[in-house]
Each structure stands twice: as C-alpha cells, then as structure tokens.
Amino acid sequence: MPRPGAALLLCLLLLSLPEPPAAESSFQLPAPQNMTIYSYNYQNLLRWAPVKVDNGSVLYTVQYSTMACDCWEEINCTNITKTECNFTHPNIKSFWTITLRVRAELGQVKSVWVETNTFVADQNTTIGPPVIVNVDSTPDSLFLSFVPPVKEDTLQYLVRYWEKSTNKQHETEWTKNTRIGLLNLKQLTEYCFQIRAKVHILHDNIGPLSKTDCHRTAANDATRAGFVVIIFVAATVTVVFSAIVCFLFIQKFHQVIKYWFQPPFKMPPHIEEYLKDPGMPVLEELQNNCAEEDPWDSLSVVSNAEGSQALVKDTLNTHVHSDSRSTESGKNFITLR
C-alpha cells in the first residue's frame, strides 16, 4: 500500500517546508516599535524606539511606497544608526498618500518590516501659525501683516479677535492675503487677536492658533482735536492761576519784597540834573509850591526792579483840589519816565 506512505511523506514534506523560515525567525531581530511621524510645516520626520541588543550597533533602513506603485523606494535612510529619518524630500509630493516601513539589521540578522499608517503631508502636517510682523492701527481698524509659515499656494489665513475687556470673540473670513483688516472697531480700545493658517484642499487641514497679541486702535480726528483743546485749556488755566497766585503773593508781601530786593532809592543823575535846570519852570513851581505849603501831599516812587528794563517811574502826586490854581496849571502833575 504505497498510498499511505506517500501521503505520510507528503505530509512530512509539507511540515518540513516552513521549517527553514521558522528556524531563521528565531534568530530574527525584534522589529522597531512605536513608529511615529512628526510633521510640522511640511518638515516630515519618522521616529521609532531603538531595538536593544546586547552588543553591536543595529542599523535601520526606511523605505516608502505610494498608492500608484506596489513597490518600495529608498529615501537616504538606509543602514542608518539613528532612530529617526527625515523624509522631507521634493520627490515625495505633499498630496501623495504614502506608507513608510522600517527594518532593523544586525550583521546578517534582520527584523521584519514594520509599516506606518498612510501619510498625506497636506492632511497630516501641522501648519504652524503665521508670524505677525506689523500691525497698523486706525481709529476703527487694525491691519495685521504677517509672513506665511511655508511657501504653499494652498494656504489660507484667519484671525480670531476680541475686545480685551469683553472677550466676545469674532473671526474674519479665510483669506489668501497676508494682510488682514479687523474692521468696525472702537477707537482707542485694546483688541487681542490670534491667527492661524490652514491647508485648503479636499479636507481642510486647520493649524493651531498663534499666541495672543494685543494692540490698541488709534484715536479719531475729533478725539484728537478734543485732546488738543483740553491740553490747551489746562495749560491756559495753569498759567492764569499761577499769575493770580503770583500777583496775590506780591500784593501781600509787597513791603517785604521791596525791602529785600530793592536798594534804597537814589534819583538817577540825569533826572536830578533835569530837575535842577534853572530854565525849567518845573523846579521853580515845585519850590514855590513847597514854600507856599501847597498840598504836595505824597511822593510815591515805584520802581519795578524785577523787570529787565529797569523801568523807573516817578510820580508826583498831588491832591487835586478844586481851587483854581491847581486846575490852571497842569504842571502840578509830573510824570517822568
């Protein structure tokens, strides 16, 4: 009965067939674990946990495949010792759906390949917020100028903003412009804002918001004019008030000030000469009047020593009586400058 023998042989043959791979697998290296793709602004990095062996340095190889081809390509991450691979490469288009795989290798011993999830840079990358470089403020708007996180045509931007004191949030429309206006704001008010970018493709890939920045709107013309008026009025009031205080002070301490700041009066020589001039009827009259004990009542000399012009004003006052002599002669009142 050759049949059962043949069947047994076949059976043994079948059993023995997987033997060589099974034997090899027992010497296999453990596969890399915890493969993670980090992608920020289209900078793509694959990382994995190192494969631990007692001695020797493990080498890793990374490959990628696209949906278009059932084949694996190298990406300059072959026989590397680092446990990361920068697969940012112009050959790998951002809209491609790719899969990566990694294998460990120590001498002749290799691990199995481990594959990542599918990765589409446009969808999976994290688009960082744009960087605001300038804020122009007008009375009713703020204009934010910013630089895009990456040079991609597919990017759009949005600003979230709120009045600092209220926290009621508003959002602009998505736009491709790198200058966004926040309109219909209140003047002289502090507004806070955050900006974000997105990759606008089939499924929007919206990036995180930037840190909060705050800026104040400008004053409008009317308010500015109001400020000018207020400042002017305040200045005027201050000046007038100081003048009044000065005046009252001088009034009150008139005698003291005079005593402290004014040297004893000495008639300027030219005036003395003028008065002594015999041709002048003034002195005569004066003398006459004195002799007659006419009502020369007071001699008041006021000298303003504070003024820079050294103004000297001598006034001879007379009590103007209603008698005819006083009125007939206007010379009774003399003013010398």
Ligand X SMILES: *[C@@H]1O[C@H](CO)[C@@H](O)[C@H](O)[C@H]1NC(C)=O
Residues in region 235-254 near ligand X by CB under 6 A: none
Q: For 225, phi and psi rounded to 5 degrees?
A: -60, -40
CB 290, CB 296: distance < 8 Å: yes
Residue 78 or residue 287: which is nearer to ligand X going by CB?
78
Transcribe 129-153 into DSSP letters. PPEEEEEEEETTEEEEEEE-SS--T
In the chain, the amino acid numbered 291 is: A
In this chain, which of 65, 66, 86, 97 binds ligand X, going by CB under 6 A?
Answer: 86
Q: Which residue is nearest to ligand X, using beta carbons?
A: 49
Nearest distance from C-beta of residue 40 to ligand X, angstroms: 10
Identify the DSSP state of 326: H
CB 125, CB 119: distance < 8 Å: no
CB 215, CB 137: distance < 8 Å: yes
CB 140, CB 185: distance < 8 Å: yes
Residue 58 or residue 144: which is nearer to ligand X going by CB?
58
Alpha carbons 206 and 196: distance in angstroms, whole number: 8
The answer to whether 105 contacts ligand X (rule: CB under 6 A) is: yes
In this chain, which of 17, 18, 28, 78 binds ligand X, going by CB under 6 A?
Answer: 78
* Binding piece for ligand X, criterion CB under 6 A, among 71-79, 219-227, 231-239, 314-322: 71-79
Residues in region 7-46 near ligand X by CB under 6 A: 33-34, 37, 43
In this chain, which of 124, 145, 154, 303 binds ligand X, going by CB under 6 A?
Answer: 124
Alpha carbons 160 and 337: distance in angstroms, whole number: 77
Neighbours of 290 (CB within 10 A): 10
Q: Binding residues for ligand X, how many (CB under 6 A)?
A: 18
Nearest distance from C-beta of residue 176 to ligand X, angstroms: 24
Q: Residues interacting with ligand X, by CB under 6 A?
A: 33-34, 37, 43, 49, 55-56, 76, 78-79, 86, 88, 105, 116-117, 119, 123-124
